[in-house]
């Protein structure tokens, strides 16, 4: 795990723990949907929170399931995506 992603991972983990009463902790690579940490309603709320954290709109399509598997995959996908956009603008 790259340490440059850790602040965002911790922010997302804290949101889950605060908003999902039955969840006490979430590992960086723990399956969020398969392990039922996030149900369908909580996933939508989580997507909106991720939009706020990374400052970009997320299109709700099959990429959500693919990119929202773990905290690590969420942060890798959206932080790298932000970096790629910044590089293209430079």
Helix (H, G, I), strand (E, B), or coil: what is residue 45? Answer: helix
Length of the chain: 90
**Contact 43/37 with Cβ under 8 angstroms?**
no
Asked whether 49 and 15 are in contact (CB, 8 A), the reply is yes
Give, for all 90 residues of the chain, the pLDDT tens digit: 456 889 999 999 999 999 999 999 999 999 999 999 999 999 999 999 999 999 988 888 877 778 899 999 999 988 876 433 333 333
The residue assigned the tokens 């969420």 is 74
Q: How far apart are CA 24 and CA 46, in angstroms?
A: 16
């Amino acid at each position: 795990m790259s340490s440059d992603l850790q602040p965002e991972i911790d922010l997302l983990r804290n949101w889950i723990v605060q908003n999902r009463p039955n969840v006490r902790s979430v590992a960086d690579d723990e399956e969020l949907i398969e392990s039922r940490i996030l149900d369908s309603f909580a996933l939508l709320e989580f997507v909106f929170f991720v939009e706020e954290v990374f400052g970009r709109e997320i299109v709700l399509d099959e990429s959500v399931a693919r990119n929202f598997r773990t905290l690590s995959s969420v942060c890798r996908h959206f932080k790298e995506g932000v970096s790629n956009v910044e590089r293209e603008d430079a």
